[in-house]
Amino acid sequence: MPLLDVRNLTTYYMTRRGPVRAVEDVSFAVEKAQAMGLAGESGCGKTTIALSLLRILPPEGKIVRGQILFEGKDIVKMSEKELREHIRWKGIALIFQGAMNALNPVYKIKEQIVEAIKIHEPNVTKREAEERAKKLFELVGLDPSRVDNYPHEFSGGMKQRACIAMALACNPKLLIADEPGTALDVVVQAQILKLLRELKEKLSISLIVISHDLSLITETCDTIAIMYAGKIVEFADIVEMFKKPLHPYAQALIESFPSISSKKYKFVSIPGAPPNLLNPPSGCRFHERCKYAMDICKKKEPEFKEVSKGHFVACHLVGG
């Protein structure tokens, strides 16, 4: 049984102009001690998935249907109390995009970590929590004596490490990192990616890395899901995905990434812009920008089917 099994998750934002279909019929699974990458352009629903997993959507966000099975239990059906006691922070921890800039500037880092521990594990004493904060600092490669610092005394990379430490405070089984590399310099970004890889090995936790940057996902993940306009268009093992992408969008996205090690870069781009999700295109949501679009693509939505073991794709071109 996979640690996390998401089936047909559908999340809409109810706006006055109608529902924004941010995530629709998304299915994927994350095994224990495995890392999955969630890639796609801005506005494709990556973060909405993360918020749905923890049920921390803004008021207008609604999980319309689907199941989120975490260790076999459905998160969608849980009460707030159950979520707080078993899932948030203890089961699944989320490092928000730009979390390092959201640390409270008037509290010491230690106090912020202790607060998180105390809320989710009321039985832990303050001293124990402080000890744990120090251990966490060591784990993420920070000097434990610096738990008494304020956020402004930390550099960007150190703040990101502190955020990772905080996310690990209650021993989660799954860690979600939303754009862990943005706003960091390449050198620091490489250090953070290395830390995530090491933590996965050391603590054997599962990881979901959300990023628009495919190269960042290849550095950390075992499997990858590529999203477009609220749908997962392809899901596969990372090596397989790069060797043999099947969906035209996945192909174009992979090709559009310049690599420092490659000889030539063709400046490939996808014409047009992602659709408005208030009124997504009929049939396959990518058909307007797809160079292989056929008649059926406009009419019928392609099924998300397994073409070879562990390789799923939603395209009329594949598998007849």
Partner 1 sequence: MSETLLKVENLKKWFPLKLGFFRSLVSKKLLYVRAVDGISFDIKNEEIFGLAGESGSGKTTTGRCILRLIEPTDGRIIFEGRDITKLTPDEMKSFRRRMQIIFQDPYESLNPRMTVEDIVAEPLRILRIANSEDEIIAKVKEILTKVGLTPPEEFMFRYPHELSGGQRQRVAIARAFVINPKFVVADEPVSMLDVSIRAEILKLMLSLTKEYRSSFLYITHDLALAKHLCNRIAIMYLGKIMEMGTTEQVIDNPLHPYTKALIAAVPIPDPTARRSEVVIKGEIPSPVNPPSGCRFHTRCPSVIGEICRKEEPELIEIEKGHFVACHIYSKK
Residue 84's alpha-carbon distances to 4, 93, 119, 139, 271, in angstroms, are 18, 12, 9, 25, 44
User: What residues between 68 and 97 interact with partner 1 by CB under 8 A?
Assistant: none
Among 14, 56, 239, 296, binds partner 1 (CB under 8 A): 239
Least distance from C-beta 212 to partner 1, angstroms? 6
Among 85, 128, 148, 213, binds partner 1 (CB under 8 A): 213
Please report whether residue 283 would count as binding partner 1 according to CB under 8 A.
no
Among 215, 279, 282, 308, binds partner 1 (CB under 8 A): 215
Please report whether residue 103 would count as binding partner 1 according to CB under 8 A.
no
Please report whether residue 113 would count as binding partner 1 according to CB under 8 A.
no
- Please count the helices (runs of H) and the strands (runs of E) in the chain: 10, 12
Among 5, 111, 219, 234, binds partner 1 (CB under 8 A): 219
Q: What is the DSSP letter of 289?
A: T
250 Cβ contact list (under 8 Å, min separation 6): 226, 233, 234, 241
Among 155, 279, 282, 308, binds partner 1 (CB under 8 A): 155
Among 259, 291, 309, 320, binds partner 1 (CB under 8 A): 259
> What are the structure tokens assigned to 90, written together?
């203890």
Please report whether residue 218 would count as binding partner 1 according to CB under 8 A.
yes
Among 32, 83, 115, 257, binds partner 1 (CB under 8 A): 257
Residue (27 or 256) nearer to partner 1, CB:
256
Residue (1 or 260) nearer to partner 1, CB:
260
Q: Which of 105, 88, 233, 112 is nearest to 163 (CA)?
A: 112
Among 58, 72, 271, 320, binds partner 1 (CB under 8 A): 271
Please report whether residue 107 would count as binding partner 1 according to CB under 8 A.
no
Residue 55's alpha-carbon distances to 34, 75, 84, 180, 257, in angstroms, are 22, 8, 10, 21, 33
Please report whether residue 187 would count as binding partner 1 according to CB under 8 A.
yes
Say how far apart CA 128 and CA 189 lie, in whole Å. Answer: 32
Residue 110's φ and ψ, nearest 5 degrees, are -55, -45
Please give the span between the terminal C-alpha atoms of the chain, in angstroms, as a whole number: 30
Q: What is the DSSP letter of 83?
A: I
Please report whether residue 278 would count as binding partner 1 according to CB under 8 A.
no
Please report whether residue 264 would count as binding partner 1 according to CB under 8 A.
yes
Give the Cβ contact number of residue 252 at 10 Å: 18
Least distance from C-beta 155 to partner 1, angstroms? 5
Give the Cβ contact number of residue 259 at 10 Å: 9
Residue 162's φ and ψ, nearest 5 degrees, are -60, -40
Please report whether residue 193 would count as binding partner 1 according to CB under 8 A.
yes
Would you tell me which residues interact with partner 1 (CB under 8 A)? 41-42, 155-158, 181, 185-191, 193-194, 212-216, 218-219, 238-239, 241-243, 252-254, 256-261, 264-265, 267-271, 273-274
